[in-house]
């Protein structure tokens, strides 16, 4: 029986690149939880986000994890007001440049058309391009790390006062509020 993507991955981040970094849970905990444990899991995640790949190799999985970690490190540096590491920026730019995906309007929906020759590389290029759009765009100053216990996930603070503290009120925010209630 196939796994349910919503039971395996958090899919609630509005920024695609940050949703990808959430394939590691509890980053600030003693033992972060890796969710991309196989090429089948990477395929499941990519397909759930509209990046329809059919075959994913172990090398593709390694490339994806490398990209994910570069995105996370760059985003965390920006959130901390620091300069991102040049090597991570080079890696991000290289993956974006290697992708050949094309945006298309199909059945009134925006979709990504991947090439037949390098579909996973194209999908990773989409993720890298999305990260570059956020990291180099006007919302750069709104990038934050979640303050939820053990989380440290990336999110874009779109609140009016830019005072949001959690990646998601439904997960991390709810955990904090429940722990406060239990303490009283």
pLDDT at 5: 79
**For the chain, which domains are there?**
5-183 (1.10.3300.10)
- Spatial contact of 19 and 168, defined as CB atoms under 8 Å apart: no
Place of tokens 């995640």: 45
Q: What is the pLDDT of residues 82-122, one digit of tens each?
A: 999 999 999 999 999 999 999 999 999 999 999 999 999 99
- Using alpha carbons, list the distances in angstroms from residue 93 to 71, 102, 150, 151, 158: 11, 17, 29, 27, 26
**Per-residue pLDDT at 51:** 96
For 129-179, the pLDDT digits (tens) are 999 999 999 999 999 999 988 899 999 999 999 988 888 777 786 665 666
Mean pLDDT for the stretch of residues 15-31: 94
The predicted-structure confidence for 30-72, as pLDDT tens digits, reads as follows: 899 999 999 999 999 999 999 999 999 999 999 999 999 999 9
pLDDT of residue 183: 67
Residues in the chain: 184
Geometric angle at alpha carbon 107, from 104 and 112, rounded to 5° = 30
Structure tokens that stand for 155 in this block: 């999110």
């Amino acid at each position: 029986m196939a796994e349910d993507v919503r039971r395996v991955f958090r899919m609630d981040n509005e920024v695609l690149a940050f949703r990808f970094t959430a394939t590691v849970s509890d980053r600030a905990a003693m033992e972060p939880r890796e969710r991309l444990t196989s090429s089948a899991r990477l395929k499941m995640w990519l397909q759930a986000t509209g990046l329809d790949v059919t075959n994913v190799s172990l090398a593709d999985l390694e490339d994806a994890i490398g990209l994910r970690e570069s995105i996370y490190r760059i985003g965390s540096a920006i959130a901390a007001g620091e300069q991102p590491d040049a090597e991570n920026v080079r890696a991000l730019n290289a993956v974006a440049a290697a992708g050949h995906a094309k945006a298309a309007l199909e059945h009134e929906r925006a979709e990504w058309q991947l090439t037949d020759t390098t579909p996973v590389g194209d999908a990773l290029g989409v993720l890298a391009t999305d990260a570059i759009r956020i990291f180099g765009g006007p919302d750069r100053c709104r990038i934050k790390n979640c303050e939820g216990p053990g989380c440290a996930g990336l999110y874009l603070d779109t609140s009016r006062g830019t005072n949001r503290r959690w990646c998601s009120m439904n997960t991390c925010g709810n955990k904090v509020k429940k722990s406060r209630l239990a303490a009283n």
